[in-house]
Amino acid sequence: MPPAIRPARPEDASALTVLVRASFALYVPRMGREPAPMSQDFPADIAAGRAWIVDGPEGPLGLLVAYGDGPAEDPSFHLETVAVAPAAQGLGLGRALVGFAEAEAARRGFPCVRLYTNAAMTENLALYARLGYVETGRRREAGFERVFFERRL
């Protein structure tokens, strides 16, 4: 049975910060700094309706931040952050959250989902390729080595 994914609420913001910090901690030594999601403004994401979570018995197990935008000639749905609590990794929650983002993009009429991850996050690079995402470029932005992906819907 797929996990229940619900919109995040304002009272979830602090728990989402804890979840993301735990989920992304293993990348800090690889990158030599904290990944961008570790300083994300979850209250703003929640207020904008861009955040969804998977609840667990003691707090959120998974998080998705995604939104649609882009110029009329090239609209896309952006998958900004996917995080899964370390204890819940390997259970398919990340895949379910990505699938939810794709379904939400299709429901809203977007032709594709775009995302980027860090080159040091090799697990993510492999996951997105397995899920049918195609690498569209690499570049350094804001001090991060980013790898860009797209999946046409």
51-56 and 59-69 as β-strands: parallel, antiparallel, unpaired?
antiparallel
In the chain, where are the structural domains located? 5-111
Average pLDDT, the chain: 93
pLDDT one-digit tens code per residue, 125-151: 999 999 999 999 999 998 899 999 999
Cα–Cα distance between 65 and 121 in angstroms, integer?
Answer: 18
Cα–Cα distance between 89 and 83 in angstroms, integer?
Answer: 9
Backbone angles phi, psi at 10, to 5 degrees: -50, -40
pLDDT one-digit tens code per residue, 86-125: 999 999 999 999 999 999 999 998 999 999 999 999 999 9
Is the predicted pLDDT of residue 79 greater than 80, yes or no? Answer: yes
Decide which of 76 and 46 is more confident.
Answer: 46
pLDDT mean over 40-44: 96
**CATH architecture observed for domain 5-111:** 3-Layer(aba) Sandwich (3.40)
